Structures are given as structure tokens and as C-alpha cells.
């Protein structure tokens, strides 16, 4: 799930790397996630992007839904890769590291934060 340019521009300009945390689509369940913030050097992006990988399989797509995230931990700095296979391997390692970190008590407690529970009929404009 990628954030719009407007949302990306609201992130601190010096923030980049791979992070973990919690994500919620709409008023659904809260799931573990990995977040990449940066320019994706392997793809030679010229614009900064914020890409969320929710560690959950959804039965339907969720285009147009509100995506709420809480970043709770740092995994690694942004880096380039020699091949798509190396990139895929790093992503898989990032997912495993996120799962490990997010099972720690200091991260687990944030899964239940009121931030994820919007009052019925309310939306967040960020």
C-alpha cells in the first residue's frame, strides 16, 4: 500500500530506511507491517516514496480506504541491490525481523492504541 505524494511530503525530509509497526485499513483489524521510506535506489526513483507492506493476506483490494500506521521500530537503512533476487531476499528478511520485533511487549502494546479505533462515521484527514 503506497501513500500519495501529499502524504509522503508530510513525512520528515531526513527520514528514510525500513521500519516496522502496525497498520489498519479503514476500521478493520490491526496487522503487523513493514514500511519502506525513501527513493528505492534499485528502481532509480526520483521521488521519495512510502510503501507499506501489511503482513496479512486480504481477500479483496482496499484502494481508496484509509490506511492508518504506527511506526514502532527501525530495521535498516535504505540500500541498493545488485539483483531483484537480492532485493526480494532482503524484503523477506525485513518481514521476519518485523515479526520478531513486533512480538516484543513494547511493540505489542501499541497494536491496541486508540489511534486505530476511529469513531463510527469519522475519517482522518492526514
Residues with a catalytic annotation lie at 51
CA pair distance 29, 41, nearest whole angstrom: 32
Of residues 74, 65, 126, 79, the one with CA closest to residue 102:
74
- For 74-86, give one letter per residue: b (16+ CB within 10 A) or e: ebeeeeeeeeeee
Amino acid at each position: 500500500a503506497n501513500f500519495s505524494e501529499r502524504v509522503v511530503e508530510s513525512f520528515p525530509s531526513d527520514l528514510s530506511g525500513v521500519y516496522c509497526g502496525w497498520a489498519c485499513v479503514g476500521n478493520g483489524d490491526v496487522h503487523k507491517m513493514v514500511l519502506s521510506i525513501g527513493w528505492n535506489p534499485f528502481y532509480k526513483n526520483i521521488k521519495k516514496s512510502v510503501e507499506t507492506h501489511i503482513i496479512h493476506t486480504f481477500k479483496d483490494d482496499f484502494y481508496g480506504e484509509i490506511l492508518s500506521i504506527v511506526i514502532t521500530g527501525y530495521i535498516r537503512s535504505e540500500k541498493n541491490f545488485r539483483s531483484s533476487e537480492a532485493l526480494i531476499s532482503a524484503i523477506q528478511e525485513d518481514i521476519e525481523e518485523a515479526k520478531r520485533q513486533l512480538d516484543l511487549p513494547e511493540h505489542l502494546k501499541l497494536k491496541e492504541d486508540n489511534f486505530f479505533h476511529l469513531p463510527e462515521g469519522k475519517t482522518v484527514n492526514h
